[in-house]
Amino acid sequence: MSKKKGIFTVALIVLFAIFIGYVDIFGFGTSKAGSAKDIKLGLDLAGGVSITYQVVGDENPSTQDMDDTIGKLEQRVWTYSNEAVVYKEGSNRINVEIPGVYDANKILKDLGRPGTLYFIKHYGADGTPNFTYDPSTREPYLLKDIEEIKADGSAILQGTDVKEAQAGSITNNMGNSEIIVHLTFTPEGAEIFKQATTEAFYNNHDPIAIYYDGEVISAPSVSSVIDDGVAQISGGFDYEEAEKLASTIRIGGLSLELEELRSNVVGASLGQNAIQSSLLAGMIGFAVVVIFMIVVYYMLGLTSTIALGLYAVLEIFLISGFGITLTLPGIAGIILSIGMAVDANVIIFARLREELATGKTVDSSIKVAYSKAMSAILDGNITTLIAAAVLWIMGSGSIKGFAQTLALGICLSMFTAVVITKQLLKAFVGMGITNPKVYGVAKERKTIDFLSKKGLFFAISGAVIALGLVFMLALNSNNASRGHSLNYSLEFLGGTQTTVPFNQEYSLEEINDLMVKDIEGIVKDSNVVTTKVAGTNEVIFKTVTLDADQRIKMNDYFKNQFGVDTETIKTETISSTISAESQRETIVAVLVACVCMLIYIWFRFKDVRFGASSVMALAHDVLVTLTFYAVAYVSVGSSFVACMLTIVGYSINATIVIFDRIRENLGEATPKTKLKDIVNSSISTTLSRSIFTSLTTFIMVVALYIFGVSSIKEFALPLAVGILCGTYSSICLAGAMWFVLRNKKKED
């Protein structure tokens, strides 16, 4: 690359980064589209709509019906946001909280009245039509009252007879793709629908109307007898129209009929300080990482700084563009990913310095370094990307949001490291910066005999994990007040919701400063969540489940300290916001992701023992971090899953870098080379990468812990432990496990 072209390349990349940064701050047009302010925020950061439904006609519905209804409502409200939550209040109420939206009436109109869907025959028992079509719009509408239709038996099916409703596409008779709504009925519903479609088909292809919440939403003609319980609705839909119809049918098929009890617009549960402190942590952490990279890697560090700056502004821009909803753990994850993005650069820089040490020119060293580093970068990032894809497809709620952010971060990291950093390095060489000392030359390292200590490493890890299991069992049996070995938050356990109408308005910061510590003392727990109801003086306090004595103490506290009339205080028991079904889905998704990672590593390394060793190292990291959660009694909430998944993704990357070097050294080894020497050499030559990447990531996490609010600290502390543990397992355990398995195979 010529000097002129080099200057142009550097200027173009810097100007592009500045332009994207400008868009991040100011956006496009009056709507600020594409800006950081345009990013959708979760309920904890921005507030949203809170709706309480009550079951119609049954004060004590069964647990099964309530769980089924909550599960189906979750699927519906997640179309608004992956961070929406649905949970039970009392015995017959369900709360729905949707972040980032503030028009309660619009949400109520869209959701309608859950559980009021019917399939209606065209003609009633008296031979008169139940519905007809508007001659100008061709929209169907009822001619009779719904109660009259139900009474004469014309409402042949209810929404509960529909097992599944999904938008999809088929190839029609003309060979064209057509958007349809695919329905699957329950066995009982299938039999009834068979009889109804037989009657309608032989009566001039009569239509059957689908009625929901006061109106007919569709009235398709019956073109054939449906005898297998599977039907399709067509009618010139686009995908959005088909998905809306399918979603309406799903919510109309709830096990229980619900009616709105109340709806509120609630404020953020954490306040503006949470965002400001997180951004401050991000800026300080980024600055420290930049200084570290320049001090350690000289010109290479400056190159990575420009690439990381572009990475950061692009991530903000794309999160806004893709409409990803961010909660506080999500913001922490983005800040953390800046530290993790250093990884690919460090791998390349280490290779480049090794090539410079052999006497090659800077230009040829860059080419060889990228060639040799590419397999480790691709394998590490693709493995994590596979996990993100599985979690995105199979996960639910906030797990999908985490997977989206993770996948975006991986793709951007690879782009900036493989494309941007490479172009910058070539540009600097073209500009005449070719002195190897400016880039740094690798020094000869002494090979450390890690495998000689493998017995000690295995013993230490086994002892820590065993200690954690014993500790959790002991805590579970002795902790009668909680009955759990981990400090599960309200999101997992549920608790008590206390709504207090104060005589004056308090800001969220004032509430946290004046009241939260006192309330924590009354309830003997630190998991207190506060939310303001917009437009009122009401504040909602969510705590662990309170007994009668604690409820009285709470009421007396608000009366004596703030003059609140205790008769106006409302107290309800609430269920967990993370349903049992969501927990099961998350566990299954994580297990499937681990299996997929194992298969990929097996395929790429042609040796299942590499995959098995990687998964064992991951299991070790998860168990040790779980031990820390138990011993330190850190709160286990929604960020727990994000923390564990981050550790898994981080650890697998570090392990694959070492395995990639083992694979490379195996290919270059002579028959006389000892396997033990290959493993020790591979770990030793990648040691600086393992330490430096861990250090830069650790810096970001420490910044989060120092400057973050309490909930961020609860996320950052175990994450810091997990990063240290992941570094230890990659260096001390993964290679040793593979060595043991390899030798075991030889002995067999």
Instruction: Judge contact between 253 and 72, C-beta under 8 A.
Output: yes
What secondary structure letter does DSSP report for 129?
Answer: B
Average pLDDT over residues 516-533: 84
* C-alpha span between 515 and 521 (Å, rounded): 10
Instruction: Judge contact between 474 and 484, C-beta under 8 A.
Output: no
* C-alpha span between 578 and 395 (Å, rounded): 12
* H/E segment holding residue 404: helix 398-415
Strand pairing category for 48-55 and 93-99: antiparallel
The string over 562-590, giving b where at least 16 C-beta atoms fall within 10 Å of a residue's C-beta and e elsewhere, is eebeeeebeeeebbbbbbeebeebbeebb
- Largest CA-CA distance found in the chain, in angstroms, rounded: 97
Question: Which of 242-246, 470-474, 637-641 shows the highest mean pLDDT?
Answer: 242-246
Query: According to the model, what pLDDT value does residue 712 have?
Result: 74
Is the per-residue pLDDT at 559 higher than 70?
yes
Q: pLDDT band at 84, cuts 50/70/90?
A: confident
Query: According to the model, what pLDDT value does residue 396 have?
Result: 64
Comparing 40-54, 492-506, 669-683, which segment has the lowest mean pLDDT? 40-54
Q: Which residues pair with 674 in a beta bridge?
A: none
* C-alpha span between 259 and 623 (Å, rounded): 45
* C-alpha span between 519 and 515 (Å, rounded): 6
Comparing 379-383, 549-553, 620-624, 739-743, which segment has the lowest mean pLDDT? 379-383
Query: How many Cα neighbours within 13 Å face the side chain of 628?
Result: 21
* C-alpha span between 566 and 49 (Å, rounded): 26
Shortest CA distance to 678 belongs to which of 107, 97, 582, 670? 670
* C-alpha span between 490 and 528 (Å, rounded): 8
* 605-611 CB contacts, 8 Å cutoff, 24+ apart: 605/659, 605/663, 609/738, 609/741, 609/742, 609/745, 610/659, 610/663, 610/738
Q: What is the pLDDT of residues 246-302, one digit of tens each?
A: 888 887 777 788 888 877 776 666 555 666 777 788 788 888 888 988 998 889 989
Average pLDDT over residues 313-342: 74
* C-alpha span between 504 and 482 (Å, rounded): 35
Shortest CA distance to 651 belongs to which of 601, 626, 614? 614
Is the per-residue pLDDT at 341 higher than 80?
no
Mean confidence (pLDDT) of the chain: 83
Cβ–Cβ contacts within 10 Å for residue 254, how many? Answer: 26
Query: According to the model, what pLDDT value does residue 480 have?
Result: 41
Q: Which residues pair with 625 in a beta bridge?
A: none
Name, in order, each residue with C-beta under 8 angstroms of 456's C-beta and a sequence gap of 6 or more. none
Amino acid making up residue 487: N
Query: According to the model, what pLDDT value does residue 206 have?
Result: 92
Is the per-residue pLDDT at 90 higher than 60?
yes
Spell out the domains of the chain, with CATH numbers in brackets: 3-25+271-439 (1.20.1640.10), 57-110 (no CATH), 117-253 (3.30.1360.200), 451-466+579-747 (1.20.1640.10), 495-574 (3.30.70.100)
Is the per-residue pLDDT at 482 higher than 60?
no
The structure tokens 């502390």 sit at 717
3-state secondary structure labels for all residues of 683-742: HHHCHHHHHHHHHHHHHHHHHHHHHCCHHHHHHHHHHHHHHHHHHHHHHHHHHHHHHHHH
* C-alpha span between 159 and 495 (Å, rounded): 32
Is the per-residue pLDDT at 440 higher than 70?
yes
Amino acid making up residue 665: N
Comparing 19-33, 59-73, 188-202, 632-646, which segment has the lowest mean pLDDT? 632-646
Cβ–Cβ contacts within 10 Å for residue 31, how many? Answer: 10
Is the per-residue pLDDT at 557 higher than 90?
yes
Query: According to the model, what pLDDT value does residue 486 have?
Result: 79
Locate 500 and state its tokens.
């207090």
Name, in order, each residue with C-beta under 8 angstroms of 149's C-beta and a sequence gap of 6 or more. 118, 120, 124, 130, 142, 155
Is the per-residue pLDDT at 479 higher than 60?
no
Q: What is the pLDDT of residues 178-224, one digit of tens each?
A: 899 999 999 999 999 999 999 999 988 999 999 987 889 899 999 89
Shortest CA distance to 496 belongs to which of 558, 540, 557? 540
Average pLDDT over residues 517-541: 84
Q: pLDDT band at 481, cuts 50/70/90?
A: very low
* C-alpha span between 568 and 180 (Å, rounded): 51
What secondary structure letter does DSSP report for 98?
Answer: E
Shortest CA distance to 650 belongs to which of 337, 358, 314? 337
pTM exceeding the 0.85 threshold for the entire prediction? no
Query: According to the model, what pLDDT value does residue 339 have?
Result: 65
* H/E segment holding residue 70: helix 63-77
Q: What is the pLDDT of residues 351-386, one digit of tens each?
A: 898 889 988 999 999 999 999 888 888 888 888 888
Q: What is the pLDDT of residues 542-556, one digit of tens each?
A: 888 888 899 999 999
pLDDT more than 70, % of the chain: 91
Question: Which of 94-108, 117-131, 434-448, 649-663 shows the highest mean pLDDT?
Answer: 117-131
Q: What is the pLDDT of residues 491-501, one digit of tens each?
A: 788 889 899 99
Query: According to the model, what pLDDT value does residue 331 have?
Result: 66
Cβ–Cβ contacts within 10 Å for residue 478, how many? Answer: 9
User: 60 or 555: whose pLDDT is higher?
Assistant: 555
Query: According to the model, what pLDDT value does residue 333 have?
Result: 62
Cβ–Cβ contacts within 10 Å for residue 182, how many? Answer: 17
Q: What is the pLDDT of residues 151-173, one digit of tens each?
A: 999 999 988 888 888 888 888 77
Using alpha carbons only, give the angle 110, 115, 119 rounded to the nearest 5 degrees: 95
Average pLDDT over residues 24-43: 76
Q: pLDDT band at 747, cuts 50/70/90?
A: very low
Query: According to the model, what pLDDT value does residue 744 have?
Result: 65
User: 276 or 421: whose pLDDT is higher?
Assistant: 421
Amino acid making up residue 507: S
